[in-house]
């Protein structure tokens, strides 16, 4: 039942609470009721715009934000919302113009607003502008771990690996408990072949910190390789449990396939749940279990000058057969024992979960050379 004695601020407060609870229909109902009484209340139009945006009703959201800006051309939240919805319509120039107006009005030190704008730009892959707003936030708030992490995410997407590593590490200096930044950094290090450093960071996360399976599978792979853990080791149980929560009974291949399918034809991630996932590192991955095309031929040389040619699996099998003590052993046993010996020699963890990882890890450790 409506209450005609509520003020516009009270309607806005009610709607804001409903919005925060994810009750968008109820929020819109409340806002519509409030606007019936206070049609010139800017905050109610702004609230309507964000509620419509949350429901992906972009045309209605645009109308609400435009009405708000028409009532108050200098309202920062209305300008931010309008810019965000313009991005949805592909009007990048109009969006940036709206965001620029916010800077001109003197809101550079508004931490949350700068991050909101940066994330909106990041989601639509306007990466140079996204990084700019993240850097504005970190300049005004040098102690903000979230701002530093966001600069790192944008730097990575802009192929500035050095910048990404610096800002992600800076975020963790400011907040060692920043799970997203730590997971992202671990994935970057893993892709660089710095497996021990990747494991160092992954071991400092909790299963509930993860919202996709990539880093968890890497953590399991590294733990099993470094500590020689069996698949059912109690230490791995919580991580397998988290994978089950996220993907039911999906296999690793199914999980990675779903991650690949999350990338749209335009290269953007669909329906991201958090900023970490916007910049997933899948572009350089072919899958934990299916690395290297079937039948692809490679050439590898040992330090003693022996050369092997074939698929990754064929090369490892040839290496095993040449090691007299492993003539009757399995490829898996050979990789595990050789990886352990290599770690003792070099101090570098060598994955032993599949032939390609084993060979590339051995090359990273300086124990052989990949010629082709």
Q: What is the CATH number of the domain that holds 74?
A: 1.25.40.10
Q: Which domain holds residue 356?
A: 298-370
Count CA atoms within 13 Å of residue 108 on its CB side: 9
Burial (0-12, 13-18, 19+ Cβ within 10 Å), 41: buried
Name the band, by pLDDT with cuts 50, 70 and 90, for residue 267. Answer: very low
Of 88, 107, 126, which closes a domain?
Answer: 107
- Give CA–CA dist 221/199, Å, rounded: 10
Q: Give the predicted TM-score (pTM) of the model.
A: 0.68
Count how many domains the chain has.
Answer: 2
Mean pLDDT of 204-223: 90
Last residue of a domain, one of 107, 141, 163: 107
Neighbouring C-beta atoms of residue 364, cutoff 10 Å:
19
Token pair for 317? 């099998």
**Distance, CA of 70 to CA of 61 (rounded, Å):** 14
* Most confidently modeled range among 4-13, 156-165, 341-350: 156-165
For residue 250, being part of any structural domain is answered with no
User: Is 244 among the domain residues?
Assistant: no
Percentage of the chain exceeding pLDDT 90 = 56
What is the C-alpha to C-alpha distance for residues 151 and 221, in angstroms, rounded to an integer? 29
- Copy the structure tokens of residue 23: 């009750």
HEC string for the chain: CCCCCCCHHHHHHHHHHHHHCCCHHHHHHHHHHHHHHCCCCHHHHHHHHHHHHHCCCHHHHHHHHHHHHHHCCCCHHHHHHHHHHHHHCCCHHHHHHHHHHHHHCCCCCCHHHHHHHHHHHHHCCCHHHHHHHHHHHHHHCCCCHHHHHHHHHHHHHCCCHHHHHHHHHHHHHHCCCCHHHHHHHHHHHHHCCCHHHHHHHHCCCCHHHCCCCHHHHHHHHHHHHHHCCCCCCHHHHHHHHHHHHHHCCCCHHHHHHHHHHCECCCCCECCCCCHHHHCCHHHHCCCCCCCCCCCCCEEEEECCCCEEEECHHHHHHHHHHHCHHHCCCCHHHHHHHHHHHHHHHHCCCCCCCCHHHHHHHHHHCCCEEECC
Identify whether 213 is part of a domain: no
180 contacts: CB under 8 Å, gap ≥ 6: 149, 209, 274, 275, 276
Q: What is the pLDDT of residues 298-316, one digit of tens each?
A: 888 888 778 787 889 889 9
- Tell me the mean pLDDT in the region 24-42: 96
Q: Is residue 174 part of a domain?
A: no
- The per-residue pLDDT for 352 is 84
Residue with tokens 């996360």: 205
Q: Rounded CA gap, 227 and 159, in Å?
A: 33
**Residue 181 belongs to a domain:** no
Residue in 338, 289, 348 with CA at minimum distance from that of residue 317: 338
Q: Tell me, yes or no, whether 55 lies in a domain.
A: yes
Instruction: Using pLDDT thresholds of 50, 70 and 90, give the confidence band for residue 248.
Output: low
In a domain, 364, yes or no: yes
Contact indicator for 192, 165 with CB cutoff of 8 Å: no
In the prediction, which pLDDT does 209 show? Answer: 93
340 or 239, which is more confident: 239
Contact 95, 118 (CB under 8 A): no
Identify the domain boundary among 89, 107, 125.
Answer: 107
User: Is residue 48's pLDDT more than 80?
Assistant: yes
6 falls within a domain: yes
């Amino acid at each position: 039942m409506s209450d005609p004695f509520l003020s516009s601020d009270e309607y806005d407060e009610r709607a804001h609470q409903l919005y925060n609870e994810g009750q968008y229909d109820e929020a819109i109902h409340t806002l519509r009721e409030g606007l019936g009484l206070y049609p010139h209340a800017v905050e109610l139009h702004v609230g309507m715009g964000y509620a419509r945006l949350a429901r992906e009703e972009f045309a209605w959201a645009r109308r609400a934000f435009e009405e708000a800006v028409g009532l108050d051309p200098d309202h920062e939240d209305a300008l931010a919302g309008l810019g965000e919805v313009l991005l949805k319509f592909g009007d990048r120039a109009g969006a940036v113009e709206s965001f620029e107006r916010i800077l001109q009005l003197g809101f550079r030190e508004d931490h949350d607003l700068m991050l909101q704008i940066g994330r909106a730009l990041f989601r639509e892959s306007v990466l140079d502008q996204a990084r700019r707003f993240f850097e504005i936030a970190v300049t005004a708030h040098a102690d903000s771990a979230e701002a530093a992490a966001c600069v790192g995410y944008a730097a990575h997407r802009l192929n500035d690996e050095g910048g990404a590593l610096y800002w992600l590490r800076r975020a963790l200096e400011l907040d060692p408990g920043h799970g997203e930044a730590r997971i992202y950094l671990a994935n970057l290090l893993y892709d660089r072949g710095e497996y021990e450093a990747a494991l160092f960071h992954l071991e400092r996360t909790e299963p509930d910190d993860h919202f996709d399976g990539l880093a968890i599978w890497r953590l399991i792979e590294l733990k099993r390789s470094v500590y020689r853990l069996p698949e059912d080791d109690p230490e791995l149980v919580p991580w397998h449990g988290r994978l089950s929560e996220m993907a039911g009974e999906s296999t690793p291949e199914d999980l990675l396939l779903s991650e690949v399918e999350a990338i749209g034809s335009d290269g953007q991630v669909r329906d991201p749940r958090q900023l970490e996932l916007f910049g997933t590192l899948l572009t350089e991955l072919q899958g934990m279990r299916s690395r290297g095309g079937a039948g692809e031929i490679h050439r590898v040389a040992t330090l003693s000058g022996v050369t092997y040619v074939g698929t990754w699996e064929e090369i490892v099998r040839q290496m095993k057969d040449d090691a007299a003590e492993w003539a009757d052993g399995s490829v898996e046993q050979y990789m595990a024992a050789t990886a352990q010996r290599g770690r003792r020699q070099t101090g570098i963890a060598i994955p032993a979960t599949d032939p390609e990882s084993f060979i590339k890890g051995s090359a990273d450790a300086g124990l052989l050379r990949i010629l082709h």
